[in-house]
Amino acid sequence: MRQFALLITMLIINSWLFAQKPVDYVNPFIGSTNYGTTNPGAIVPQGMASVVPFNVTGSEQNTFDKDNRWWSTPYAWENKYLTGFSHVNLSGVGCPELGVILLMPTTGEIEADETKYGSLFSKQEAHPGYYTCQLDKYKIKTEATATQRTGSSRFTFPAGQSNILINLGVGLTNETGASVKVVSPTEIEGYRMTGTFCYNNGTERPVYFVARFNKSAEKFGVWKRYPKMKAEASWESNSGKIKYYKNYGQEMVGDSIGAWLSFNTKSNEQIEVKIGVSYVSIANARMNLEAEAGQQTFDQIKEKAFAAWDEALSRITVEGGTKEQKRIFYTALYHMQIHPNVLNDVNGQYPSMDGYEILEAKDGDRYTVFSLWDTYRNFHPLMALVYPEQQLNMVRSMIEMYKESGWLPKWELNSTETHVMEGDPSIPVIVDTYLRGLKDFDVQSAYKAMVKSATTEGKNNKLRPDIDHYLKEGYVPIMKPFDNSVSHALEYYVADWNLAQFAKALNKPEDHKRFLAQSLRYKSYFDKEYMMIRPKKEDGTFLTPFDPKQGENFAPSPGFHEGTAWQYTFYVPHDIKGLMKLMGGKRKFTQKLQKVFDEDLYDVANEPDITYGYLFNYVKGEEWRTQKQIRTLIDQYYKDEPGGIPGNDDCGTLSAWVVYSMMGFYPTCPGDMDYAITSPTFDKVTIKLDKNYYPGEQLVIKANNQGTENVFIKGMKRNGKSFKKYFISHDNLVKGGTLEFNLSNKR
């Protein structure tokens, strides 16, 4: 009996010791195909540096060369030919940029042409903060981890001549200029130009680096490639034979350049490389490397990276559900912790917005990569709830960008305005943050910046270049066959509604009245013939001919950006009840909204209609449609596999949607503090609330009678009391306590 009790005790202890943590459920390969554009590279939360396997150029064995695809990611699951590991990268975006400073181990004779030195790879494995694979051509085991500003790699070589290349001629960015210098047999420094995201005319930025090796090279050199050189041309140097490129000693500036180090390794000998990066200077890159990585081993850095992810992801714990559902949930939360990322170095320095002045962050970290047209809809409200300190730092960063450049950001990358997408998306982000109780930022400067973009006439308005007609007549007319005019205006309406709420909160009644009126002028676009939003010409008449389905599959669409009239018609989240009246009442509104889903007019990966599934909650008695539709969308489009995100993650936007949806609530409109309720996916969700910002300690969401078919809510309780509304306020949730659901398979 005593032995049996001891056995049970040991089983309990082992179960406890090996219980999986949230970080254990992350699958970094999710989203690495199907245009998700995420990658499995090693990174820590909000890291400037990431070490990502680069496999989108270099060989006919890759899909890139077969289909001539336009890659906006350094890694694609379907590609099998690897040409290095890039050290500054973007995740979940739709345009190419960064993906530079490629590190590549090889063996044998030095080769600088990536189409020749690249290798097929296998034995891939990825976890938060760690990636590994084998280079089949060389039998080299590669491993990668990272700190916030340093990438760390470890290569296990066979016996013989082993090499490590730093290729500055390959990347996703449109720029090619670079500089490289072999400082010593254990250190290389340089920079690589970046900056024209989506081929905009923004400010080019150098990203500086310092690479440090834990073993001295026996031979080393730098190169410059000449792509048009005849095959028989070659040069000899005392550092080795160099084919199809010229060895210039220890330093080089220009295009298509790189550096190499050679070692005589024993079988299974490991060489570690640390690369610090900075957008300020080589000196700062070296400082970042020494401050964050220093003398630490690869394994020590890896353990700290894992611990950082464990802390970040443990803000939310889930119980019940399937393993696949947990992996979908935590991978989405993981993707939300990649961008925006820190821009400042360990000493606080960073490049100013749209300029080259070096400034210093003194009030928290300076963030970058603001894909605001996407993220204002759900990402930032979720950050405010779960990671309020980070969200405040992001808002402060946005306001500093205004002070430095004169305008709030639209789509900012490394202190450069890319002018991608449309609207005035900083306004809803900042207002939403303020109304959620996070007010510790320069409120007056924020308000001044918002009023400037909402009222400044003429093309000098960098955020609303077509504002004149909007201010005068209340809409943006279509002036060209495909000018995205309606999309622009719909974004302005949402921004102006948020500005009106901000004015009200700041006790500015006249401004509140003015901007609220502007926000409701979307009604001028409503065409009673089609009962839809329809483009209008400058003379006030509707565009003819008109096909509401035009624009499907990213085809050109008059008046609409990346979508159809169906995908934009319901996008007036600040006035759903007003739209309902225009459509003829609740019944017709519901029928038309249901048609979007029944006739496959909905695009789950398109931001303007991302909230559609929750709009049934605005009609009493039809809330069951939201519960059914949201669960259907989750099950149909989110998977624990490389194609498991239905499109570009857009810096965490599609991930934020599924995190919210699986927890059972969603913000239908930024600036509106009510969440729409749906049925949770898990038996229990616990959100740790930050007591520095919110009164509650934790929010618990329970779902009784959970099951695959049990998606309908039959009853709810809030802290033990009956709760019958299908919206719940932010203030209510952050007080903590329990929200309990009883689920059924019958509506």
pLDDT tens-digit readout, 188-199: 999 999 988 887
Mean pLDDT of 94-101: 94
What tokens were used for 714? 């039959």
Whether 692 shows a pLDDT value over 70: the answer reads yes
Whether 232 shows a pLDDT value over 90: the answer reads no
Of 328-342, 548-562, 670-684, the one with minimum mean pLDDT is 548-562
Provide CATH code, domain 24-219+264-311: 2.70.98.10
Query: Which of 125, 133, 147, 151 shows the shortest CA–CA distance to 27?
Result: 125
| Angle at alpha carbon of residue 374, lines to 55 and 311, rounded to 5° | 70
Whether 28 shows a pLDDT value over 80: the answer reads yes
Whether 22 shows a pLDDT value over 80: the answer reads yes
CATH 1.20.1610.10 fits 369-678, yes or no: yes
Tell me which H or E stretch contains 212.
strand 205-213
What tokens were used for 726? 């299908």
**Residue-level pLDDT at 11:** 41
Mean pLDDT of 582-592: 98
Rounded distance, CA 360 to CA 367, Å?
12
Whether 719 shows a pLDDT value over 80: the answer reads yes
DSSP 617: G
| Angle at alpha carbon of residue 339, lines to 333 and 340, rounded to 5° | 125
Whether 244 shows a pLDDT value over 50: the answer reads no
Of 233-242, 257-266, 654-663, the one with minimum mean pLDDT is 233-242
pLDDT tens-digit readout, 504-559: 999 999 999 999 999 999 999 999 999 999 999 999 999 999 999 999 988 889 99
Mean pLDDT of 612-630: 98
Task: pLDDT band for 482, please (50, 70, 90 cuts).
Answer: confident
Q: Specify whether the CB–CB gap between 602 and 616 falls below 8 A.
A: no
Task: pLDDT band for 459, please (50, 70, 90 cuts).
Answer: confident
Task: pLDDT band for 233, please (50, 70, 90 cuts).
Answer: very low
Mean pLDDT of 705-726: 95
**Residue-level pLDDT at 3:** 54
DSSP 714: E
Q: What is this structure's pTM? A: 0.94
**Residue-level pLDDT at 227:** 57
Strand (E) positions, 448-492? none
Mean pLDDT of 164-176: 94
The distance of Cα 79 from the centroid of its chain, to the nearest Å, equals 22
What tokens were used for 607? 């931001």
Mean pLDDT of 425-440: 98
**Residue-level pLDDT at 235:** 33
Whether 451 shows a pLDDT value over 90: the answer reads yes
Rounded distance, CA 730 to CA 151, Å?
39
Q: Specify whether the CB–CB gap between 54 and 170 falls below 8 A.
A: yes
Select the more confidently predicted residue: 291 or 562. 291
Return the sign of the alpha-carbon dihedral for residues 726, 732, 734, 737: negative
Select the more confidently predicted residue: 19 or 636. 636
Mean pLDDT of 696-708: 96
Percent over 90 (pLDDT), the chain: 87
Q: Where are the domains of the chain?
A: 24-219+264-311, 369-678
Average pLDDT of the residues of the chain: 93
Task: pLDDT band for 363, please (50, 70, 90 cuts).
Answer: confident
CB atoms within 10 A of CB 690: 15
CB atoms within 10 A of CB 254: 15
| C-alpha count within 13 angstroms, C-beta hemisphere, residue 715 | 7
Rounded distance, CA 289 to CA 48, Å?
12
Task: pLDDT band for 268, please (50, 70, 90 cuts).
Answer: very high
The single-letter code of the amino acid at 182 is: V
Q: Specify whether the CB–CB gap between 53 and 77 falls below 8 A.
A: no
Of 275-284, 478-487, 616-625, the one with minimum mean pLDDT is 478-487
Rounded distance, CA 617 to CA 580, Å?
12
Task: pLDDT band for 247, please (50, 70, 90 cuts).
Answer: low
Mean pLDDT of 32-55: 97
Whether 236 shows a pLDDT value over 60: the answer reads no
Q: Specify whether the CB–CB gap between 11 and 618 falls below 8 A.
A: no
Q: Determine how β-strand 150-157 pairs with β-strand 341-342.
A: unpaired
pLDDT tens-digit readout, 300-321: 999 999 999 999 999 999 999 9
Q: Which residue has the tokens 């490991």?
A: 270
